[in-house]
Amino acid sequence: MRWAASLKVRGRRIFDLQIALIAYEHGAREIWTHDRNFASVPSVRVRDPLENLNLG
C-alpha cells in the first residue's frame, strides 16, 4: 500500500499496480499494454505495442 499511496493510485488502478509490482519482483523491467492509464512503478517501463501501428 505504500507504493499506492506514494504514486497516488486508487480504485481499479490498484490492480495495474499489483501487476507491475509482481512483474518487477520477477525481473521484468517493461510491460506491454494498450491501457493508456496503466499504473506502474518508476522502475518498470510501460509500452503500448499498438502505438505505431497504422490501422487505417
Q: What is the mean predicted confidence (pLDDT) over 24-40? A: 92
Query: What's the farthest any 2 CA atoms get from each other in the chain?
Result: 42
Residue 56, pLDDT score: 61
Dihedral sign computed on CA atoms, order 46, 51, 32, 16: positive
Q: Is residue 10's pLDDT more than 90?
A: no
- Which three cell numbers mark 5? 499511496
Q: Is residue 1's pLDDT more than 70?
A: no
pLDDT, one tens digit per residue, over 42-52 is 889 999 999 88
What's this model's pTM, rounded to 2 decimal places? 0.75
Residue 46, pLDDT score: 93
Cα dihedral 16, 14, 29, 32, rounded to 10, equals 10
- Which three cell numbers mark 36? 493508456
Q: Cα–Cα distance between 56 and 2 in angstroms, integer?
A: 42
